[in-house]
Chains A and B, each alone.
Chain A
Amino acid sequence: MYWRGSIGIMKPRNNEIEVTIFGPGYGECIVVHIGSGKWAIIDSCLDDDGREPASISYLRKLDVSIDSDVISFSASHWHDDHVKGLAKTISACKAAKLSFGSALQSKEFVAFLYAHEIQPVQVLDRGGTELLQCLKNLNESGRQPKLLSEDTLIFDYGQGELSHGLRVELRALSPSGKQFADFIQRIGDFSIKSKGLPKGRISEPSRNHLSVAMLLTIGNQGVLFGADLEQVSDSQKGWNAVVMNRRGRQPLSHVFKIPHHGSYNAYNKEVWKQMVDKHPWAIVTPWRKGGNTLPQDSDVTRIKSHTNNCYITSTKYLPTKKRYDRETIKQIKATKSNFCPSIFSCGRVTMRWVAGTTPPKVTLADGAKAL
């Protein structure tokens, strides 16, 4: 059976798998169809109008019943930069099983977020606003979320439970125990080290170290979601820990969401050698910081040395001309402050295939393109 949603594309069939990645550069979001009309969402970002989560907007256009057909929502990050629209997404996905990084159970960590929340800024988020709103919603709704760390099973469906007949599971691959302990130690020191320091927005330099990479298994195929997990020298942290933990384990992934915008500090050669197929279908999301853009040219070269099937979710910036009048733009230019848009338009890359087969059919929209 086919459904044509209001954006003119069809819903996936019951036996098809779909992975759609949105990456406007201020957060990213993944929407997955696992079969039989069931959907899972990972992370959150806002649509171009800045009002609705991109995942909700997309599913609505496909005429998906968001309150019943989304069976899982997982957050791989905790910082506002990566989870805009999180609270709204969770509220909309009423039937979804919720999963968050294990730091969320730590009182010190949540206190750290609250300590930054109380300040007289006007419109700017504080860095932990979205997650605190989410916690408040969880408290009020009585929903029972799961905590994610290395090897946590997020959800699974046994053989024969879904239309395609294959076993499906989503599993967290990080953070490792040592990574988690180090992060909590650092946060716990905050109450001592921050005394006397003026308040500001949370700028925790190790915030990516708690990032939750995930592996979706469909039969003997895998989809590796790299989140923003980085590569560090410690063998018990970051990608080193993941590779060591997954050594010899199947399946290899034929679709790979490249971690941390393809940057060098998230690159681990062994991930490409031991965890993904040769020439996987790879997706990267863009990021802009201080005038620099990720992935850089050198990152693209490195990615393409592993696969030619690589796509980026967006290449178009949110145009300044559409947001400011001519006089304002003229005055901005005169300040010589290198003013520029920091996020991209909300493009998407969709990969869809019949479960158990390859290759996926790739659809690019709203600024997405092949690298």
Chain B
Amino acid sequence: MSTVTHSSVLKDQQNRVQHSSGNKQKSDDYVLRMAACNIRNALQSRGFSGQMPADMSGSTQHLPDKCKQGSSNVARIDSKEIVPPNGDLVLMRAKAKLERTLTPTSEWEGYVESVSEDEFSVRLVNVRSQSGLPVDQATFHKDDVSEFDQELLREGAIIRWVIGRERLSTGQVRNVSELHFRRLPSHSKKDYKRAYEKACNVLEGINWDNEAEE
């Protein structure tokens, strides 16, 4: 059974999402620390106590005040797991991110050819193609595009489509289809100026036949 997931490519050059992906990591760590704080409070209410390792003291600086008070009772946490202070009960193991590997079966580069009310069609060239000829096409629903990428959906937009097998760290294997909208740099005044200079250079060397006709 295949799963369709759509997400933008996060690694394009000058891609502002690189910054936001770093923020996401910080957000994940904060959530874990908050969770640890809540567990500590729950343990305390039941009479448990524990010591916070000295090397983790710095991690409390971003926690809300209620967690900073009595910080010596915070259970040890790191980015991968929360371990109870005395080992009497295992509360949870949390990992910062689920690992996955994607083995592409096939990959295409393409562009959006037309956009209608509900769907859009793309012309595709297989990345292994020698001719670069977009000999295939496909149609996708607009709903399959994330909100984050909707602004990129227009005629001429460049996309990458990958289908393959995804293996999760849990051992689960599934077929996936990922459509990425390429966040390419914008046209700039400097780009256009450079393009204009190139145009002038190439046209200068061409001698057009403008002879008068009969």
Binding site for B on A (CB under 8 A): 26, 46, 50-51, 84, 97, 105, 107-108, 110-115, 117-125, 127, 132, 135-136, 138-140, 142, 144-147, 152-153, 191, 194-203, 205, 288-291, 318, 320, 323-324, 327-328, 331-332, 334-335, 337-343
Residue numbers in A under 8 Å from B131 (CB-CB): 46, 50-51
Contact string against A for B residues 70-107, beta-carbon threshold 8 Å, 1 for contact and 0 otherwise: 00000000000000000000000000000000000110
| B125 at interface by CB-CB < 8 Å | yes
Residue numbers in A under 8 Å from B155 (CB-CB): 200, 203, 205
Which residue, of A107, A132, A290, A318, has the highest number of chain B Cβ atoms within 10 A? A290
The residue from B106, B111, B133, B154 contacting A26, defined by CB atoms under 8 A apart? B133
Which residue, of B12, B135, B157, has the highest number of chain A Cβ atoms within 10 A? B135
Q: Is the CB of B177 within 8 A of A199?
A: no
Q: Is the interface of B mostly helix, strand, loop or mixed?
A: mixed
Q: Is the CB of B114 within 8 A of A26?
A: no
- CB-CB under 8 A for A136 and B184, given A123-B129, A291-B139: no
CA distance in complex: A107, B121 (Å): 32
CA distance in complex: A342, B136 (Å): 5
Interface size class of B (residues with CB under 8 A): 35 or more
The residue from B124, B138, B158, B192 contacting A121, defined by CB atoms under 8 A apart? B158
Q: List 20 A-B contacts (CB under 8 A).
A: A46-B133, A50-B135, A51-B130, A111-B196, A120-B13, A132-B202, A139-B206, A145-B208, A194-B192, A195-B187, A195-B189, A200-B156, A290-B137, A331-B106, A331-B163, A334-B177, A337-B138, A339-B137, A342-B135, A343-B135
- CB-CB under 8 A for A123 and B177, given A114-B195, A196-B186, A324-B106: no
Residue numbers in B under 8 Å from A200 (CB-CB): 111-112, 154-158, 184
Q: Is the CB of A197 within 8 A of B135?
A: no
